[in-house]
Amino acid sequence: MFKVTNGENYSLEQILAHQKTEGSVLRSAHVGNFNPPTLLLAQEGFPIILHEHIRGEAKIYEPAYIKVGGKKFLITDQPTLPLTHAVMNKEGRDRVQTIMGQDFQRPAQLHYRSLKKLFPENIQLTSQLFFEQDPFFGQALEILSKQFPLLFANFVDKNGKVFNLAENQSGERQVYFGEDGQQIEIDHHQIGELAYNYLKQTVGAITSNGENPEGIVMKSSLYVLLSTLCEVYKGRNGAERYKPGQVKVVHFSGVEMINYLIKNKKQAEQNARELNALYETMKEKFFGLLPDDLLFELVPTDMLGKVVTGDERAAGKINELFIAHNKLTETFVRRQQSRAGSADEIRRRVASWDDQTVKERVSELYKQIAALPSSIKKRISDAQEALSDFETNRKKILGTLISAEIAIKDTYAESQESDVEIAKIKDALSVVSAEIQQTEIPQVSQYDVLESKSQMRFPEAARELSQRQLQEAWNYSMRESSEGVSREIGNKNLK
């Protein structure tokens, strides 16, 4: 079974620990401009694979541009072509020369080389990962193309023209149509070979000025499956990476992948069924070489983008925020533990009272009802009425009285040391989060890092927080600063 789950409960420290014990970890990205979260993951030493089939104008990576100093510059006159087919324009080559010190034929080469220069050990093309596991990969592609031909969804010619799979298929040949109505027909037995050759030509085009690739491009589900299998397969004798029963792969997700595999429920269910069908086919054909269950833990990275920065001062302020939030959480826990102990003591004390004491305390609270917490006013009023038939209502009256005493203790104990500390931390949190919101954190690019030799900074205080906890802490902190801190600290005692 290929099981996709939301990995939002993983922290960076936990994923690094998984990797150090030979567990599989991947971040799939595209050739193009990396955002700060992906730059951080590359800097942390996580393996990054670059999916090569992307159009130049693609929104997230914008590979037809380079980004420097918060600005972007078009480096090709063919931004609508697949990146493997576009060529650099003169302005782009001149601008790149000042950053990289060398000339490039394609934008794809430039982006790939810039990332390899920064992270030589853990950046590779997705196709390179595939071919490292040949002949396993070649056999897998042959099997999948026969069983699932409709997942080989596009044909790309030498000029970069994309032909999409026709909706209706019949006969011995698979049909693809271009936007102008031109038709390409492929024999079914050629599909796997043309996909294999396209990937092979892609590596050559990006790494060594090879010719434009021509052939078949697979759907995303096949890239997800095959990259995961090749990552697991290459270390199948490792202690964590391969076990006959179950293997866990931690995969960092960008915005699109987390949407179509987790957030968009209808789409996610369809993709989950498809991935599982693909995996079960592979498991049957490669009996004993793949685990029974492959757990695909998808870790969102969108939150990282809010806290990762290349600016030292901003990084310090963000770290202050998480330190304050961690202190606040610890203090809340201590207070709750203290109040839980106090509640237990109140239950024991009230339960020991005789009937007359119970009646007197209810009447006393009823006389002071205007000063009571709103949550218990009605219950005290009801308890006062129930005193008229005390024997029948004794159990209910006692329960109300216990609840009332606990609520009063919680409401009017704000002068306790832990509550004073919470107020102070909230004030500090409010100040630092307000300052962060007023600070413009620059969107650092790989080219900025190349020029400045700087590094991405991630708050040390947040390394052990899961992605979900990181989101909660950030949202809470921002809310504190925007809404302000309102509280009363007093020494009111209700007797």
Could you please report the per-residue DSSP string of 259-324? IIIIISHHHHHHHHHHHHHHHHHHHHHTTTTS-SEEEEEEEE-TTHHHH-BS-HHHHHHHHHHHHH
Residue 17 has pLDDT above 90, yes or no: yes
Cα-based distances in Å from 120 to 43, 114, 289, 440:
11, 10, 30, 31
Higher pLDDT, 241 or 53: 53
The span from the CA of 398 to the CA of 379, in Å, is: 11
Whether 384 maps to a domain, the answer reads yes
Q: Which of 274, 302, 330 lies at the terminal end of a domain, its last residue?
A: 302
Residues 172-202: tens digit of each pLDDT: 899 999 988 899 999 999 999 999 999 999 9
Q: Assess contact for 404 and 449: CB atoms under 8 A.
A: no
Find all residues with CB under 8 Å of 408, minimum gap 6, and list them: 372, 373, 376, 494
Residue 404 has pLDDT above 50, yes or no: yes
Q: What pLDDT is stored for residue 78 in this prediction?
A: 94
Q: CA nearest 45: which of 26, 21, 28? A: 26
Looking at the structure, do residues 284 and 226 belong to the same domain, yes or no? yes
Mean pLDDT of the chain: 87
State whether the Cα torsion 81-87-89-93 is positive or negative.
Answer: positive
Q: CA nearest 251: which of 286, 225, 277? A: 225
Estimate the crossing angle of helix 265-285 against helix 136-147, to 10 degrees: 120
Whether 366 maps to a domain, the answer reads yes
Q: Assess contact for 72 and 91: CB atoms under 8 A.
A: no
Q: How many CA atoms lie within 13 A of 65 on its CB side?
A: 16
Q: What's the chain's length in residues?
A: 495
**What token pair was written down for 20?**
């150090």
* The most confident of 25-34, 88-97, 224-233, by mean pLDDT: 25-34
Q: What pLDDT is stored for residue 41 in this prediction?
A: 96
Looking at the structure, do residues 340 and 485 belong to the same domain, yes or no? yes
- Three-class DSSP category at 214: coil
Looking at the structure, do residues 91 and 201 belong to the same domain, yes or no? yes
Q: What pLDDT is stored for residue 418 in this prediction?
A: 54
Q: Which of 243, 267, 302 lies at the terminal end of a domain, its last residue?
A: 302
Could you identify the residue written with the tokens 């079914």? 188
Radius of gyration of the chain (CA): 31
Q: What is the mean pLDDT of residues 447-469?
A: 91
Looking at the structure, do residues 241 and 264 belong to the same domain, yes or no? yes
Q: What pLDDT is stored for residue 110 in this prediction?
A: 95
**Residue span of the structural domain in which 103 resides:** 2-302
Whether 280 maps to a domain, the answer reads yes
Looking at the structure, do residues 341 and 265 belong to the same domain, yes or no? no
Whether 117 maps to a domain, the answer reads yes
Looking at the structure, do residues 401 and 371 belong to the same domain, yes or no? yes
Residues 281-291: tens digit of each pLDDT: 999 998 878 88
Exposure of 381 by Cβ count < 10 A (0-12 exposed, 13-18 middle, 19+ buried)? middle
Answer left, alpha or beta for residue 187, where phi above 0 means left and psi between -120 and 50 means alpha. beta
The span from the CA of 250 to the CA of 453, in Å, is: 29
Whether 243 maps to a domain, the answer reads yes
The span from the CA of 147 to the CA of 151, in Å, is: 10
Whether 295 maps to a domain, the answer reads yes
Whether 486 maps to a domain, the answer reads yes
Find all residues with CB under 8 Å of 306, minimum gap 6, and list them: 474
The span from the CA of 342 to the CA of 347, in Å, is: 9
Q: What pLDDT is stored for residue 243 in this prediction?
A: 65
Looking at the structure, do residues 156 and 135 belong to the same domain, yes or no? yes
Looking at the structure, do residues 287 and 342 belong to the same domain, yes or no? no
The span from the CA of 256 to the CA of 185, in Å, is: 31
Q: How confident is the model at residue 477 (pLDDT cuts 50, 70, 90)?
A: confident
Q: What is the mean pLDDT of residues 254-270?
A: 91
The span from the CA of 310 to the CA of 319, in Å, is: 13
Looking at the structure, do residues 426 and 327 belong to the same domain, yes or no? yes
Whether 143 maps to a domain, the answer reads yes
Number of domains in the chain: 2
Q: Which of 259, 275, 302 lies at the terminal end of a domain, its last residue?
A: 302
Residues 223-244: tens digit of each pLDDT: 999 999 998 877 654 434 556 7
Exposure of 417 by Cβ count < 10 A (0-12 exposed, 13-18 middle, 19+ buried)? exposed
Q: What pLDDT is stored for residue 489 in this prediction?
A: 31
Q: CA nearest 164: which of 182, 146, 191? A: 182
Question: What phi, psi does 66 have (nearest 5°)?
Answer: -115, 150
Q: How many helices (H) and strands (E) does the chain have?
A: 18, 13
Looking at the structure, do residues 339 and 269 belong to the same domain, yes or no? no
Query: What's the whole-model pTM score?
Result: 0.81
Residue 63 has pLDDT above 90, yes or no: yes
The span from the CA of 58 to the CA of 55, in Å, is: 5
Looking at the structure, do residues 236 and 344 belong to the same domain, yes or no? no
Looking at the structure, do residues 97 and 178 belong to the same domain, yes or no? yes
Q: Assess contact for 16 and 240: CB atoms under 8 A.
A: no
Q: What pLDDT is stored for residue 486 in this prediction?
A: 37
